[in-house]
Amino acid sequence: MHARRFSITAAVLCVAAALLVCPGCGDGEKEMLFHAGVGQRSSLLDVQKVFEERHPGVHINFSFKGSGYFIADVARSKEGDLYLPGEEFYLLQAYERGYIEKYDPQRDVAAYFMVVIATPKGNPAGITKVEDLARPGVRVGLGNPKACAIGIWGEKTCKRAGIWEQVQKNQVQSAKCIAEVLTGVQQGIADATLLWSSSAVLALNDIEIVPLEPQYRGFVKLPLGITTFSKHPELARQLRDFIVSDEGKVIFRSHAYVTDAGPLDAEGFCTDGGRASEKDMQYLIAAAAAVKDHSLPVSEETVGPLVGEVTRQRMTTRAGDFEVPVARPAADGDK
Amino acid sequence: MTVEVLDSTDVFPTAKRRRWSTAIWPAAAVGCVSLVLLVYVALMAGNLAYLGLDDLAVFLGTKRLWVRVWLTVWTATVSTLLSLVVGIPAGYALSRLRLPWPKLTATLIDLPVMMPPAAAGWFLFGVATSFPMKHICDLLGLKFAHNPNGIVLVQFVVTVAFCTRLMKAGFDAVNPRFEQVSRSLGASLPTTLRRVTLPLAKNAILASTVIVWARAAAEWEGLMIFVGGTMGKTDVLPFSVYLDWNGALYGPVVTYSLVSVALAVASMGAVRLIGGKKYVW
């Protein structure tokens, strides 16, 4: 008797298993697939919210990963509609292989990464400028140039400042991705590091921002491409246009990306003395203070576009993915 | 904690050495166990302190956490059931039948246990995207990339060998005499299986099932490569930890880690309850 009950239970469970697998088999709505660097998650989720609101029945799925994994993925799967890597190099690579439709390097830019100096909470080593990274005894965390774009930029920035030799002696970390660089400084393994502003902004409870002098301030273009095998090319085009529109830019700015980097030299360093980006840098520093000290006022005046970020990080001691209103252009907000 | 000291006369024949060893070895063993436990407790406590109880309450209350827990639980359950369907007969065959080239067969069966899950993911990628599997899947409308089906498949591939191995151990522990007696009394092989072998191996099977389930729930490297991480669709707990860590969402990261550990502890506790003192592995 007992054994029979056992086999009946097993049979029922198998049927239940088969039924459970089926809901994934497909439904009527239009599903898009968006390949993107993991770092762009916060802004893209806001983009998704607005875009899905305006296109009922459309659902955007994201495949977040290191930008370099895209080629391996699509070479086999031939799936996905858009690609937004954290470096133009990756997009061009995909373009050369015929995975990306016509790409306009002027227009198809979502935003820019800006390089900043980050230190653990309280800035224990007293870092005030990039040259301090070369001071004996300062522990510097950097990315591995072979593994991630921030690693390349750590090296480039230090070379531009003429401190690369000494910084290499101070280096305590060679991280394989930017999240690891951020964790390093957040946990106090390093006294200082170089990060994108958009990554630094995520952990303002645990780190401080030190502005990078304009002549050493680098910017990295975030390009956007439509795949040649897109199943919804028209929607993909609309989504791209939305991201590069003013509305899209407001969203990216609200996550500490820079949308107006000003004139840059061939290597990507700022040439206007920081005129275009200085405000963004100051807002980020003010936001770092406001997240930690709840008595500081939070408004457009003090932290500029980062009101949402500061609000989110003030909710808990350790940052969580709480919903804050999506940033909209001023004209929209007035309505 | 009490330590049972086995009669060590056979191992350490001289009286002098026996006294020394009876004092030192249990102490060392207890010391090691305490150290391991201490590390675990410190890890949990450290993480709790980092997060704070207020934050923990907030993050435990988020819907996304429970959606992800549910995805992990159901995919692991389905893949475990599939593993059992293959693993129980295969384990029985390995335990009872004389297979041709026994060593080669056993090695091949064990292969996925040793193989890195990432490699398994990559192999699956190759199989699923080339002839003939690609065409069969297209025909059936079965999707694996960026789909929960893929999670189940990866978990199944990673755990099935593991499951077979555990089941073999379970059947090995059942004395074949009982089966022989059943057969000699006129019961057919299926009846013997159903009424003698399976009931006797029941505890081992149940305990193994829990271990297989826990292994499936912890799988993610193969997933990352074969299925791809799509938020809200294929982000099982271990994958969420990685994804949210990348977004510097340390609150959810710590919470997911704690919940994963709680799931693991609960499943291992279940093994102890079900398995009793029987050896499983």
What pLDDT is attached to residue B17? 57
For all residues of chain B together, what is the average pLDDT? 84
Average pLDDT over residues B34-60: 90
Distance from the B223 Cα atom to the nearest Cα atom in chain A, whole angstroms? 12
What pLDDT is attached to residue B16? 56
What pLDDT is attached to residue B6? 53
Q: What is the pLDDT of residues B138-194, one digit of tens each?
A: 888 888 877 889 999 999 998 998 899 899 989 998 999 999 999 999 989 889 988
Distance from the B112 Cα atom to the nearest Cα atom in chain A, whole angstroms? 23
What pLDDT is attached to residue A24? 41
> Residues in chain A, how many?
335
Kindly write down the DSSP assignment for every residue of A205-224, as one continuous string.
TTEEEEPPPGGG-BEEEEE-
* Spatial separation of the C-alpha atoms in residues A56 and A185, rounded to whole Å: 42
* Spatial separation of the C-alpha atoms in residues B64 and A41, rounded to whole Å: 16
- Pick from B246, B253, B255 the residue to mutate for testing the A interface (most A CBs within 10 Å): B246
Q: Chain A residue closest to B240 (CA)?
A: A64
Whether pLDDT at B70 is above 90: yes
Interface ipTM: 0.76
* Spatial separation of the C-alpha atoms in residues B52 and A134, rounded to whole Å: 36
Q: How many CB pairs under 8 A join A and B?
A: 124
Q: Chain A residue closest to B232 (CA)?
A: A61
Q: What is the pLDDT of residues B203-217, one digit of tens each?
A: 889 888 988 999 999
Pair A277, A270: CB distance under 8 Å: yes
The phi, psi pair for B270, rounded to 5°, reads -65, -40
What pLDDT is attached to residue B117? 83
* Spatial separation of the C-alpha atoms in residues B180 and B233, rounded to whole Å: 50
Average pLDDT over residues B211-228: 87
Whether pLDDT at A334 is above 50: no
Whether pLDDT at A67 is above 80: no
Pair B257, B47: CB distance under 8 Å: yes
Average pLDDT over residues A23-46: 78
Whether pLDDT at A22 is above 50: no
Q: Chain A residue closest to B198 (CA)?
A: A3
Span of A253-262, B221-230, B257-266 with lowest mean pLDDT: B221-230
- Which CB contacts under 8 angstroms, 24+ apart, belong to A265-270? A267/A156, A267/A160, A267/A218, A268/A156, A268/A218, A268/A219, A268/A220, A268/A221, A269/A160, A269/A215, A269/A216, A269/A217, A269/A218, A269/A219, A270/A214, A270/A215, A270/A217, A270/A218, A270/A219
Give the pTM: 0.78
Pair A251, A47: CB distance under 8 Å: yes
The alpha-carbon radius of gyration of chain B (Å, integer) is 23
Q: Taking an 8 Å Cβ-Cβ cutoff, which residues of chain A contact chain B?
A: 2-4, 6-7, 10, 13-14, 17, 20-21, 24-26, 33, 38-39, 41-42, 45, 61-65, 73, 76-77, 79, 177, 179, 182-183, 186, 199, 202-203, 206, 315-321
For all residues of chain A together, what is the average pLDDT? 87
CB A131: neighbour CB atoms within 10 A? Answer: 16
Residues of B in contact with A316 (CB under 8 A): 54-55, 58-59, 251
Asked whether the beta carbons of residue A63 and residue B245 sit closer than 8 angstroms, the reply is: no
What pLDDT is attached to residue A5? 60
What pLDDT is attached to residue A21? 46
Asked whether the beta carbons of residue A77 and residue B145 sit closer than 8 angstroms, the reply is: yes
